Structure 1
């Protein structure tokens, strides 16, 4: 007999009403009714007398409720003991690098859950470009990394994160492009641009514009977007970036405009093939479970 069914039965017996019990369990009423019916078939006897929207326990139901309360209490105590055992066992320190992206929120949620479950775990978080983070990961200075495509990953095991990152231009509200809903390839020609210093990103921009990179008017390069905001506001150039890196920082003087045709890439969780500490292995396992995906060995 499943613990889940016993919990359903005990809740119905306590509430004496299917609707209220379903609300307490956060499931639908038909689902709960079906589960109780299946439990009665398994027991081989009715567990409730059903009268005027009120449920009262039969003799078999009273007997099962007493036993269910004992079993559910033991199950709760076991879960608490196992959780305490895991907290004592899993401790330590790890390092992780992350790009500026929409997927930064994903990492934040994962770290929050991990630290809540294992208070003895500590981490160092590095924010940098994919190239800088990849270099540190390759040298063993980082345990894990979240990188933004396009990026070489042949030396790592990777897990593609499902949330897509949309590319576009960050422009001043005074820029003539600010009135447009999208940026077309022809709009880039002659426009002063601020672009990532990463070669794969420059190639992505060149491919979108349909011209060699040296024909684009790149007036400056940067690694992290934070220092570019004032340059864009003062119309030194329009910055090539992803929406997730700027969406929470846009003021009244700046606007993000997506490229069209749409250009989207993914972020990947990356790590080296080696023996990891239990803490790092647990974080990788949580990413894999959350996104129900298998890592890719390049």
Structure 2
């Protein structure tokens, strides 16, 4: 497995991209971890790590110039807590097609007060209940989430939603990180670093989210087209008004479970995440009947 050595960094392609930013191309080297970026001498606005094997977003030196990071098609499951001290001017973070699975795993991004563009497309976390509300509420500095502009209506709903969640505390974060770290590993507190929650607070958050779901805003207060595009687990209603109903939602989730090819899964997942599944139940039931008749 290739390591991100000083020689590799210095020999990688560098150029001025269409945005007139200096970019370092580290695509496709299959490196497992971030290291030796100090050798860039903070001379780049963008670094592209697409198509590598990176599992944790951490270990950056202080890079004041860096504004954009691209990590499409990696294996990232965790985000380091010290990003804000290393990347104080980060504006764009692309984490498309990674393995981040829990909402609380996104909390280390909260202190990045200049972060305006975030993509988590095709990450498991996007299927969590109230994913979009959670991210918008926790990170009011964002302007775009998953390549969609955040509306004023979404910001209001996000602020209301996070009020129902358990507060993030430093003690909880230290405890959570202690459980995940190896024996003997030393954790250093970074002032201003994001903090997590106790595992015991999960149920409180779920109950609060349920209460929030029971009182959706009226159509007079919020036009249907302005509702956030949040995807939910099976059995949970979507927050958005996409024109579909609970039968359509159950039908498309059943179709995903029965899908036989990855292309079909991707197509259905896109329909679900974008909210474009109105009338799918009738189509799915008809398809199932035809399949049974053929058998």
Whether TM-score is above 0.5 comes out as no
Q: Which has the higher strand share?
A: 1
- Please report the TM-score for the alignment, with normalisation by the length of structure 1: 0.19
Q: Which has the higher helix share?
A: 1
Whichever of the two has the greater Rg, that structure is: 1
- Please report the TM-score for the alignment, with normalisation by the length of structure 2: 0.19
Specify which structure has the bigger relative contact order, considering alpha-carbon pairs within 8 angstroms and separated by 6 or more residues: 1
